[in-house]
Amino acid sequence: MRKPLVAGNWKMNGSHAMITGLLDGLTAGLTEGCDKAGVAVFPPSIYLSQVKEALDGSSVAWGAQNVCAQDGAAGAYTGETAVAMVAEFGCSYVLVGHSERRALYDETDAVVAAKFALIAGQNLVPVLCVGETLEEREQGETMSVVSRQLGAVLDSVDASLLNDFVIAYEPVWAIGTGMTATPQQAQDVHAEIRGLLEKRCPDMAARTRILYGGSVKASNAVDILGQSDVDGALVGGASLKAEEFLAICRAAG
């Protein structure tokens, strides 16, 4: 059985005071009906120390939103964060290939694959984000885009690094727009992603969690997370409100 995962991507949001209040509310509320799902938060890296201190010993994991595509031995990369650095702060997960990194920072499939390999090589769990734009969906290219993005990793990363990773399907047209894929649309794409994994390795398909990430809220979480191939959610804005995020966690667990 795949244990559901609900992950909160805080993006470029946070302050010491805001994080204290959010994590206090989150850890206090997780005792009620959330025991069947894993929970993780992804703060801006500058706050990883505070998050680690607050969550050590709790059931909530934490991860980094991004790492450099080069390791620390490769030389000087001002402003970047090496994967070994986030590992020192107790991260369990690292996001890779998020649509905003692809669109705003021109991260190619090759860069995403390189980051994935570095993350998995540090015994951290990569959360590989894949998904199409509205134009690509309207042109019927959803699965060709998703297949290309996923294949870039599966084709280039050593098989030994593919034992434990998570996929997050994030339809770009549904991120921060208020638009959300219907439960059936989410299920259809998730099932096709699992089918792509099945062709590579049945065991990989059976164990890999596939999250939905596209304007997930408490109001739609039950229907989306109830789909057979949806193993949790990658949550954006709703993860910044403790009660809203807790409601999504309860829907998954």
**Catalytic residue annotation:** 98, 170
* Beta bridge pairs of residue 7: 40, 234
Q: Which two tokens stand for residue 78?
A: 């001002």
Nearest to 248 by CA among 43, 34, 61, 10: 34
> Rounded distance, CA 2 to CA 210, Å?
10
Q: Is 204 exposed, middle or buried (0-12, 13-18, 19+ CB in 10 A)?
A: middle
Strand, coil or helix: 63: strand
Count CA atoms within 13 Å of residue 66 on its CB side. Answer: 19
What number of residues does the chain have?
253
Strand partners, 121: none
Which of 50, 38, 25 lies closest to 209, judged by CA? 38
Residue 142 CA: distances (Å) to CA of 137, 213, 237: 5, 15, 24
- State phi, psi for 215 to the nearest 5 degrees: 55, 50
Q: Can you tell me the distance from the alpha carbon of 26 to that of 32, in angstroms, rounded to the nearest whole number?
A: 11
Beta carbons within 10 angstroms of residue 246's beta carbon = 21
